[in-house]
Structure 1
Amino acid sequence: MMAGSNGTAAQPIDLAALMPKVAHRLLGEPNGRLSRGSRLRFGSKGSMEIDIEGGWFADHEADVRGGVLDLIRHREHCDKAGAFRWLEAQGLKQESRPTQSQRRAPVVSAGNTFYDYCDEDGATLFRVERRGKDAVPPFLQHGPDGRGGFHTARGCMQGVRRVAYRLPELAAADPNEIVFVCEGEKDADRLTSAGLVATTNPGGAGKFTADLAAPLQGRRVIALQDNDEAGAKHVAAVLAALNGVAAETASLLLPGLPPKGDVSDWLANGGSAFDLKALAEKALHKPIDTFPIADLTAWAQLEPEPKRFAMTGVIPEGEVTLFTGPGGTNKSTFGLQLCACSAAARPMLGVDVQAGPALYVTAEDEDRENHWRLRKIASAIGTTLNGLAGKLSVVSLRGRLNNELATFDAEGRLRPAPAFALLRETIKAAAAKLIVLDNVGHLYIGNENDRGQVTAFVNLLYQLCRELGVTIVLIAHPNKAGDSYSGSTAWLNAVRSQIVLARPEDGMDHDARVLTLGKANYARPDQQLAFRWHDFALVRDEDLTPDRRAEVAAIARDNGDDAVFLRCLAERTRQRRNVSERSGRNLAPVVFAKMPEAKGLGKERLERSMDRLFRTGRIERAELWRGDDRKPVFGLREIGVKGAGNAAGNGAETRCAYAGNATAETQETHTPLLRKGTGAAFQGSAPAPDDGEIVWESQEIGDE
């Protein structure tokens, strides 16, 4: 309760001494005929008896007895807090304020407000002085000075019992009424004046302690949150202290509060006590959260729908599909082309794709590369960049820092990162329904071998699928062991769909690709889609013109023959058995045709292969090694292959940009550009794994 302004210290309230005045104001004049001494009788039959010295009353007709507050409650039909308010309204309740000399100088007294903290009987235990926003500190506590007043000397609060604000009214209130715990005395007084039950704690926000919670035992309590960080911490402290004490608790942040706003601001802006109580009841009766339970009764009224696909039989709608494959198999091209087909309402390699806006997000390629590639793709699928504008959104994150969508704390719990919020808003702005993310290595920074972290990350993406109704294709690379994913099996366990892009197993046609289903919960796992990389796009052989198809087949055949020739040469070199380009028993095509590595390839085709390899600078005649007689041994060798020797005979390694042999480890990842006259007329072949950059010396080959 707020102290008075008469400059005197408040004294404990002697309620019994107030009985004569209270009785007179409530009951009027006593019945003189029936009254005796200090015991007054009221009414024609004297059924109401008052002892003005003892401070008690007895209503013999209603069989009700009690003290001063009980008499007020009986006659005014109010609670205990209402009885105190009646005393205040009648001017019978003493109010006081510290004298000017007791205040902390040099603050002007007129700008200060004092709040009394009283015990259950209304005796003031200590005071809180509100000095204004510019004062330092803005609040001061005043403890007893031992002379009936209060002061702010050091240690003045030592040994003083700390109580909740407006404790007498709190104790007297209807136990079924909601108690509002505010962040300050001003708000508590404001709510009390509106007829509500309110309290707060001394010391400011976050200082609500367990000893202050005792009067709220079994009560229904709302912790009102001011609209700032301190307010959030305060309600957390209140609810923690009330845990196991109050019957019901809830926090309430009022709607429409300005920054740092409180309940007083809310009431000043049109809120009412009635509305506040309604919001409080709603907060207290908020349903307990559970996992969503399917309504089987509703299901019974509907026909179930089969799973729909963003790409028929390949990519299920509304799911996260893991898209993996070795480096250099054109996963990025596939992802961008898939988005273009969706935006342009075109089939993807002959397979129907759900038409709609699409978003391609890459951290691998810059806009220049995306521009080049997309123009080629648009031409291949029969559209233009103008035709894709407004329906296809392309985002490059290359060179941007902090692209991770989530981080993990010390306990491994996932925390969405700012990039996740940016991704969500980008999807909304693009109105996209198909999303391709290229690739997981840039977006996930957790431990790939931690199942919990991997699953949490995939579930974060599923959150986008559920909230925004999108389909996500997540591009990933295989691990070094050659599995179709990197890290733990959690990647496969966390998703319902996985597709794998690779080259055919025979490896003869380096531009050929095969798409298979690695995990298919919604489709047949034995399906596969064959196509090829052609002029920076992906096409089916049947989509090429007959002449171009024949040209592609011829080049694929020649590349396969060259790979066989080099495989045979590697095996003979390993055995230290030389072969020659010259006629004789060591003529390479003749020797190779008899080897199992040739797989039945005849002498004539091997001769043509040898000629191509010479002309393209991939083989040469050179000194291979020294024989037992220390004489040099000459023969054919693949240029740049370790251990094949060199012209000096010292075994030094020779390298070139496109050197390689036919082993699985060093096999080229693209069809080399053939020189004029060798069948390389059709617009170039598939890029190296980094999509176009030549690999020199020990530079690592990048993945796409």
Structure 2
Amino acid sequence: MAADKGKDQFAQHAAAVARDLFGEPNKQLSSNEELRFGKQGSKSVDVKTGQFYDHEQNEGGGVLWAIATYAGRKIEGGDAVEWMRENGYYIEDNRAPAPAAQPASRTDAAGNWLPQRVPDHGKLTKTYDYLDATGSLSYQVCRYDWTVDPSINPKGHDKTFVQRRPDSNKRHGWDWSTKGMTWLPYRLPELIEDIRNGFEIFIVEGEKKVDMLREIGVPATCNHGGAGKFPESLVEWFKGAKVIILPDNDQAGQDHANLIARRLTGTARSIRTLDLPGLPPKGGVDDWLPAGGDADQLYQLAGHAPEAAPTYQSKFGAVMWADFDKPGQTYEYMIKGVLTENEISMLLGESQSGKSFIAIDIAMAVARGEPWFGRQTRRGGVIYQAGESATGVRRRRFPAYRKKFDVAKDPLDVVLLERPVDFYSSDEQVDQFIDECKFWATRFRDPLKLIIIDTFNKATPGANENDGKDMGMVLARCDRVRVATGAHVMLVHHLNAGGNKARGHTSLFGNVENVVTVRKVPDSKDQSGRQVREWVISKCKDGEDGTGEKFVLHGVEIGVDADGDKITSCVVGRPEGGAPVPDDPNGIVIAGFNATILRTIYDAIKTMGVLAPADLGLARGALAIEQRELRAAIKATLTDGGDEDEQPKDGETPEAFAKRKADASRQLIKRTRDYLYSKGVIGQRDGWTWLTGKNVRGFEDAPGQGDSAPARKSRGGAQRGKDAAPVDDLDMPWDAPADMGDFQ
């Protein structure tokens, strides 16, 4: 790639050049410093440095590189710079004059510049002057013609139109850029006079037709650019006018007439549409006049022309109130009251909550067309993408379901994809994934209904879950999968540290249709001693939130391994017995280091606990402790009870030894934290930790379950013991449970 020279003077035009090359930027993915182009933002432009980058091709460069790459104008020889001048950019010409034998641009025989879309043998044949209200030239429309093979065009020729503005600073005195140009009606000074005199104004397609009508004394005008272009800026010139629209005899002509009528309604005095008789296909008044038409006949026909009744084709699927009950797209369920067809949903849960087992249960209910927890299900094909624990999904979880429900020999439309997918790095894998889903859909007997991505985190390697841009791009690609396949896309994802919403940016929850949350029910087992869990509808845009069902994981023996040991997995089932059985009233057993840390938490809440903020939803008078203070208390416990006999390893520096000990402490605390949280002994959210009140053998009743707290102000307006010592904000982890993976 040749280096860009004169970099600074080109870089200042980067944003404008990018718009010329790619169109308008993607507003959702762009910022003041960086513009993103394309639905997925695959092309970016650094506005400050002028650097372009193509994220799909992994290449980039400056402004001239972009012009060479996307407009096909070479940097060598100054062709890319010439492109900028042709498009209205002022670039200082400090180059040596080009040799006469190698002109920078093409011209016709008369020396007129040829646009790129005109072949070498084309020529400028006609110009039409657009004058402003004072009669000064504002811009010209230039017509170019050239001969073509009759097999391509029976007429043997083709044409195109471009606009140019007078500019003495430009080469040859013309600016060929239309940026910032004010649209005007053709032959505006005459139009103003005609409307003032009360004459009927005929609006046609094209300057040639206007000139033909004007030659026989008929007031006429048009817009430049042809059919489908009549911007609002033209409307003001027709105030009080009596308008007659003469459309060409094709659909584009009818649509253009309809556009003009809509735009002028409420501004023009009257609007009528005249379809001239005897026109050939695609013909217009320029065919009608040579065939014998004249001004008298035209006015006679116009006198009987009906008033225009403009129609409008909504671009956004508008439905009038009176038409709501008419046939149309309906809101269909996949699982009634839980999941809707052809939407995006999230299945949320903490690690070991059982969310992947619920995902498989949903998949099999759809594939079999069987009710799911008593809710009606529409049968369809299922594609399960297992980016996490694919071997366990294939060798244990699905086999457990097959054995439990005796469906191994049923011809079910289920495909498991064992390799990971990447919805973040580029569109390429998304396109491949769509192609694969479409292929398997052709093999299914039933329509493809459900695609499960397990997990969302594994499908977005390298993405920042807390970055709205990253998540917006990923969700847009998920939506591409939904639209292309017609299936419901379910994303299996983790809860945040507080356990109360999807981990990551708020758009993850806001931009999906359905959300189902899976969690353990504290202090609850069924009659067989299984942990009771529940799934709850956290979001259903057109249904009831907050409903759900209890479930347990039933163990299933699926075989034996090489050592003769049983291989087991689980399936989702209803809890056995009546009311859930509470934990042992004598308390659960917490021992070893777990008990040491729990004792520290007991003591910390007793001495430093404060009234819990109301938004934690705890009982009145309940105490909680700020996690930064709890970290300090735990560090003190580790320091007091540390292993003083531990020595550095051979060759280990004091710094490396200290770091290893600190890392080991962090991991130990992390495992303890997960254990106490999973046992329901502690709760955590928004920087606070508290004791749930669950009984623990050998421990007194948990403090802070409603006692009065000492009075002293703390962060967040809570009150704490006045003698509590200040603490450092130590870099030790104390968040909600870390990811440990679902059951294998």
TM-score tier (shorter): 0.3 to 0.5
Give TM-score scaled by structure 1 length: 0.43
TM-score where L is the length of structure 2: 0.41
Structure whose alpha-carbon radius of gyration is higher: 1
